[in-house]
Every structure is written in C-alpha cells, then in structure tokens.
Copies of this chain bind each other. A is one copy, B any other.
Amino acid sequence: MAGRTARAEQVSATRELILTAAERLFAERGVYAVSNRQVSEAAGQGNNAAVGYHFGTKADLVRAIARKHSEQIERIRTRLLAEIDDSDDIRDWVACLVRPVPEHLAALGSPTWYARFCAQVMTDPALHEIIVEESLSSGSLPQVVEGVNRRLPDLPADIRAERGAMARELILHICAERERALAENTPTPRATWHDTATGLIDAIVGMWLAPVTHPGS
C-alpha cells in the first residue's frame, strides 16, 4: 500500500504530465490548433502517440481535463454549501454558485489555464456536450440552483431558466477573461480571484432581482 507499486506511480505521473501540458497548450493556442503529437512532445514523452495510448481521442483528453478540475470544484462547492447552512440570504446561495470556480483557480496558483480552456470547449460545437455532462450535471450543483430559486422572488419558469443561463455564462467567461488578462499582463478590474467572485456575486444578484419587462412592450 505505502507508495503503491512504483510502476503505477510512474504511470499516473506521466498521465498528469500529459494532462497539464495539454491544458496549457489548449488554453494558449486553441484546442484544435494543437495536435496530440505536440501534446505528447510538450509532456516530454518521446512517444508521439502517448496521448492516444493513455487517453484515446482528443475528446477523451478534453473530458479527462474537465473531470479533474470539476472534481476539485465540486469539493469546494459542497464545502461552501455546508458553510451557509440553509441560509435565507440569497447572496449566500449565489456565492455558492459563483465562488467555487474562481476559488479553484486561485488555489491552482499562477498562471492558470483552465478557465480559458473551459471557455473554448464550451463554445465548440463538438466538445460542448462533453464539458456539460462533466461539469454541469455533477452532484451538488442542482442543489445550489434549487436553493437559489427558492430564495428568489416569484418568476416565470422561463425567466428563471434564462437568468440561470446568464449566470452560468457570466461566471465562466468573466473568469476566462481575467485569466487571459493575467496571462498577457493586462490590467484587470480586480486584484484577486476572491474579489472577482465578489464582483460576480454583486452583478448576478442584481441581475436576478431585476424587474421583468413583459414582452408585450
């Protein structure tokens, strides 16, 4: 047990190497602009088919990257969910929705690549499904959404869904934009990931509480 077999450690080490190399290259150059060969080489594998051996297709590699992170994010989310303990403040629930992502990015240290990676995958017609089932259908998220909805004023179901989608897009793409700015040494509106989350919570709460114009206007 202690240290498992040396072989298994070696294997999971190269898997991890490939995973992080792929994530970096995908974020910097684009998922489809990078070949599996380049990923293998960047991971220090002389074997130019290492990606195929360990993961299969590029879609499988993308799924593996997404899963790795979404597990971490899920962990943070359940922790926050426990902390707010059925609070009545909608802000707390929105925080449960928002904070896991930027907090995860903060925990990764600098630089990070996951947000840019995720934004790309999310907008790609072929990969979109993958990341949805890997990140969005997991454990505690529906619980948080339900918690938010319960503390929300009466809204038609359609509007609820619409603003839920807005919150989702906002969280992802604002994080990706900040990550890009950090990578390019461009000024960012917020100093830390935590402050970024606070800004997102402010905005999303305001958005969710906004009055609804009847479409007949």
Please report A residues at the B interface, Cβ cutoff 8 Å.
27-33, 116, 119-120, 122-126, 128, 158-159, 161-163, 165-166, 169-170, 173-174, 176-177, 180, 189-192, 194-195, 198-199, 201-213, 215, 217
Contacts and interface: CB of A to CB of B under 8 A. Distances in A.
A116 B165 CA distance: 16
A31 B217 CA distance: 38
Given A120-B123, A163-B203, 20 more contacts: A28-B125, A30-B126, A120-B124, A123-B173, A128-B180, A158-B190, A159-B199, A162-B190, A162-B199, A165-B177, A169-B170, A169-B173, A194-B215, A198-B213, A202-B213, A203-B207, A206-B207, A206-B208, A206-B209, A206-B210
A190 B216 CA distance: 12
Contacts of A31: 32
A32 to B, nearest CB: 3
Contact of A211 (B206, B211, B213): B206
